[in-house]
Amino acid sequence: MSFSKPYIIAEAAQGYEGDPTLAHLLVRGAAQTGADAIKFQIVFAKDLAAPDYVHYQLFTELEMPDAVWRAVRDDARARGLAFVADVFGPRSLALARTLSVDGIKIHSTCFFEDDLIAEIAAMPVSLMLSIGGIEMSELRDVIDRHGLARRSSQTAIMYGFQAEPTPLASNHLRRIPEIAKQTGLEVGFMDHSEGLGAHAISLSAVALGFGVRMFEKHISLDHALALEDHISALAPSEFSTYVTALSALASALGDSTLTLGEDEIAYRGRALKRVIAARDIAKDASLSLDDVALLRSSVEVGFFRPADVTGRRAARDIAVGCPLVEEDLV
């Protein structure tokens, strides 16, 4: 994957709580923010955990019929959002296939499920591989074994982890360019900063400066509702600010070419001092440093360096205060 501007995923995650109405409201909220995609965790308890797992009952309550998921997908696409899904096993992957989702994220929960990864990697769909809690050697091994480098145009590594919320110092954003260098793949950032905290936007802004163009940020309807996964989430109005800020900040990055742009050239022309005549200079006089000065001039032409004119002769009389130009000299 490669993006010229930020690609922002509104992460609904499990915030729908198994309720179709909540799922549709999350789609509606995400569509109002300017996000590019919405992502849900499609959960079937038997895909994800053993019956004695502490959250097994919660996972059963997240299950929704296939027809409901189709309606949610259709709603998202009708509102201009790509529909992306986390899958956790054969049942959720089968549904994702049926839904023809726009992207599939492999949660780090499933990082070592080779059959699941192989099946997704063979699909003509965008693949996002989450690496929260994963060692670099393990990541390189999975990339090699599943040939993910060969599908680099449709694969992204998603960096970050959820600690409800993740402490600021635990983000280690300097790892991002190193992961990109070692894998040759796009690296996205899963921003799990506190939704109501001071860094709800700034953390992603820093990641933007480290080369990230794909962002995943939780969205919730309202913090006061305390829906599932709300700790790191932004309400739609806040999420809209997040999208606007990242999109605007991306333009400040520019490119790495060192050639001055038109606005920089214009600034140079009006801000830099020019070589002007420090006194009247007669025709044929040889110019010395005493003959010139450096001052801003309303005439944006001429020389910036005195060395470019000293030792040369005046081609005509030059009045004091006049900027020197090439035609004045021989």
**Domains plus CATH for the chain?**
7-253 (3.20.20.70), 262-328 (3.90.1210.10)
DSSP 205: H
pLDDT at 154 over 90: yes
Mean pLDDT over 196-207 rounds to 95
pLDDT at 222 over 80: yes
pLDDT at 1 over 80: no
Mean pLDDT over 74-93 rounds to 98
Which of 206-215, 292-301, 307-316 bottoms out in mean pLDDT, i.e. has the lowest? 292-301
Which of 156-170, 221-235, 307-321 bottoms out in mean pLDDT, i.e. has the lowest? 221-235
Mean pLDDT over 208-220 rounds to 97
Largest CA distance in the chain: 99
Distance CA 77, CA 103 (A): 13
Mean pLDDT over 65-93 rounds to 98
Mean pLDDT over 206-215 rounds to 97
Q: Report pTM.
A: 0.88
State the average pLDDT for the chain.
96
pLDDT digits (tens, 9 = 90+) for 178-187: 999 999 999 9
Confidence of residue 299 (pLDDT cuts 50, 70, 90): confident
Distance CA 255, CA 181 (A): 18
* Other Cβ atoms closer than 10 A to 257: 7
Helix axes 90-99, 114-121, angle to 10 degrees: 10
Measured between alpha carbons, how far is residue 282 from residues 136, 286, 301, 329 in Å? Answer: 73, 9, 21, 11
Confidence of residue 210 (pLDDT cuts 50, 70, 90): very high
Task: Please tell me the predicted confidence (pLDDT) of residue 230.
Answer: 87
pLDDT digits (tens, 9 = 90+) for 24-35: 999 999 999 999
pLDDT digits (tens, 9 = 90+) for 230-242: 889 999 999 999 9
* Other Cβ atoms closer than 10 A to 119: 16
Handedness of CA 68, 72, 77, 83 (dihedral sign): negative
Give the pair of three-digit tokens for residue 110: 């499933």
What share of the chain has pLDDT > 70, as a percent? 99
Residue count (the chain)? 330
